[in-house]
Amino acid sequence: MVVSVVPRQPGRTGPTVRTAVRRVGRWSWMLAGFVAVAIGGVGIVVPGLPTTVFFVFAAWCFSRSSPRFEQWVLRLPKVGPMVSDYRAGLGMPRRAKQIAIAMMASAVTFSAFINRDRLWLAIVIVACGLIGSATVLWWVPSRVDIDDAQDLTP
C-alpha cells in the first residue's frame, strides 16, 4: 500500500500526516502509562505483584507523552520517591529488598503449593521466583538507609 503525502499548501489548515502520527504516538504512550499505573495500583494490594516497576514504567511513558502526568507520578506519596531514586541510580533500600524477597518467597511457595498437581507449572513458578529474587539481590543496587547509616557510625 502506497500512501502519498500532499505537501502543505499555504492556505490549507489542519494537521499534517506527521502531526497526526505524533499525536497518535503521544496518546499511545499516555495510554500505556495509565495501564501501568492501574497495574501498579493493583500491585499495592495484591501480594507478589510488583508495584514500583510499573510506576517507573508509567513515569517513563508519561515523560514521552505528558510532563504533567510524569510529575503526578513523581509526586505520589509512597511511590514517587522510589521512582525518583530509581531514576537517580540510588537503588533500593535494604529493608525494602528484604520485604520484597520475603513477599516473593511467600507468593512463590503458596503458588507452587497450589499447583503441586501440575509439576511442570510448579517448577516454572519456583524458577521465576528464584530469578526474581536473584535480580533483586544482585542486580538492583542496595542503598544505605538513614537508619542503617546511623548503625554504622561509631
For residue 139, the Cα-to-chain-centroid distance in whole angstroms is: 16
**CB 141 within 8 Å of CB 94:** no
Q: What is the pLDDT of residue 140?
A: 78
Q: What phi and psi, each to the nearest 5 degrees, are found at residue 143?
A: -110, 135
Domain ranges of the chain: 17-90, 92-154
The cell numbers describing 42, all together, are: 493493583
Considering the chain, what is the average pLDDT of its residues?
82
Average pLDDT over residues 116-125: 93
Residue 15 has pLDDT above 90, yes or no: no
Span 71-116, pLDDT tens digits: 999 999 988 988 888 888 887 788 888 888 898 899 899 999 999 9
**pLDDT bucket at 122, cuts 50 / 70 / 90:** very high
